[in-house]
């Protein structure tokens, strides 16, 4: 028998999810058999798999020492290189700046240099995260940005906060994300793009579709910030949050994001890269606002966090202003 006491960071989650994380190498059939035989108890009493854990709950799991050794394997902790810039931090959330060129999560090609690893390193150095406990709760991002998009990313430092952040991003009611994007061509007025999107998982591409064909509702609103000789800086707000939404939406109205190698104008991208030595899409998640929210994170209501446009992008805008002044 093993005994585990639930900490503040782990409270608020279903017991089956906690046990699956704790016994991370155990087959699901084995775990659900433990529940069925009432070999998992909380405060000496059997509980259903839907039970929500509370701080200081005492979980007893009736397995052998050999089963514990076999099924409870700490995950490998990969130290990430680089430091992070913190915009805001408290006991529940961590808001950081993500530079261009770095993944939020690792993939098959890159597992070490990720924003998530850098955040975990930061928390290890502060004494707030123990890599030896990775079979329990791991501080994680509540949303993602593409590798070549810079901007603000939120992390949950405990399970209850992370779940609330997930819910806010999913419902799109209590949180507002705003971007700056440099587009090809001139736009003269604000607008809304309401075109359903569908993702091809095998190709990793998103395209405009219809709801009848399996597309998901996607809405982008934008305002004009500055018009240049042949480009436009816009401020865009995601009403929905689909993969590659801004990139596909702006390409669909024939004003793709400058430097977008997947959905942009390849010839213009070549000219843009050659002229400004800028190798990525000009897209930056610059502002995040919590609206009126309830629950554990209610104290963040009406708070706004802003990340300044990176220096490379600022330099490009300065050059564009000079070109415009010479016309």
The question of whether 107 is a catalytic residue gets the answer no
Instruction: State residue 92 phi and psi, 5-degree precision.
Output: -105, -40
Cα–Cα distances in angstroms (integers) from residue 273 to residues 4, 270, 285, 311, 324, in the given order: 55, 5, 21, 16, 19
Sequence-separated (6 or more) residues with CB below 8 Å from residue 201: none
Instruction: Catalytic residue, from 57, 146, 260, 280: name it.
Output: 146
State phi, psi for 228 to the nearest 5 degrees. Answer: -110, -170
Contact 175, 168 (CB under 8 A): yes
Cα–Cα distance, 127 to 130 (Å, whole number): 7
Identify the burial level of 111 via C-beta atoms within 10 angstroms of its C-beta, where 0-12 means exposed, 13-18 middle and 19 or more buried: middle
Strands 150-156 and 283-290: parallel
Looking up tokens 């990176």, which residue turns up?
310
Catalytic (active-site) positions: 146
């Amino acid at each position: 028998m093993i005994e585990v006491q639930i900490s503040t960071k782990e409270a608020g989650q279903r017991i089956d999810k906690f046990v699956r994380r704790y016994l991370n190498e155990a087959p699901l059939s084995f775990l659900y058999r433990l529940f069925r035989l009432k070999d998992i108890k909380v405060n000496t009493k059997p509980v259903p798999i839907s039970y929500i854990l509370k701080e200081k709950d005492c979980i007893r799991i009736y397995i052998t020492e050999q089963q514990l050794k076999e099924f409870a394997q700490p995950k490998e902790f990969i130290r990430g290189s680089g430091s992070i810039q913190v915009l805001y931090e408290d006991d529940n959330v961590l808001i950081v700046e993500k530079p261009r060129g770095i993944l939020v999560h690792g993939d098959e090609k890159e597992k070490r240099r990720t924003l998530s690893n850098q955040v975990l390193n930061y928390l290890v150095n502060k004494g707030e995260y123990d890599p030896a406990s990775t079979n329990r709760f791991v501080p994680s991002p509540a949303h993602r940005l593409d590798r070549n998009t810079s901007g603000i990313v939120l992390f949950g430092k405990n399970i209850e906060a992370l779940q609330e952040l997930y819910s806010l991003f999913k419902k799109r009611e209590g949180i507002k994300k705003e971007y700056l994007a440099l587009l090809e061509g001139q736009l003269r007025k604000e607008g809304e793009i309401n075109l359903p999107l569908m993702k091809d998982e095998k190709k990793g591409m998103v395209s405009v579709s219809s709801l009848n064909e399996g597309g998901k509702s996607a809405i982008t609103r934008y305002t004009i910030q500055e018009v240049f000789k042949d480009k436009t800086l816009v401020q865009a707000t995601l009403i929905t949050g689909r993969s590659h939404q801004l990139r596909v939406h702006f390409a669909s109205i024939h004003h793709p994001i400058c430097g977008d190698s997947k959905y942009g104008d390849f010839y213009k991208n070549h000219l843009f890269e050659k002229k400004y030595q800028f190798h990525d899409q000009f897209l930056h998640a610059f502002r995040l606002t919590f609206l009126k929210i309830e629950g554990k994170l209610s104290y963040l209501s009406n708070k706004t966090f802003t990340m300044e446009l990176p220096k490379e992008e600022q330099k490009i805008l300065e050059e564009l202003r000079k070109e415009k002044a010479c016309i």
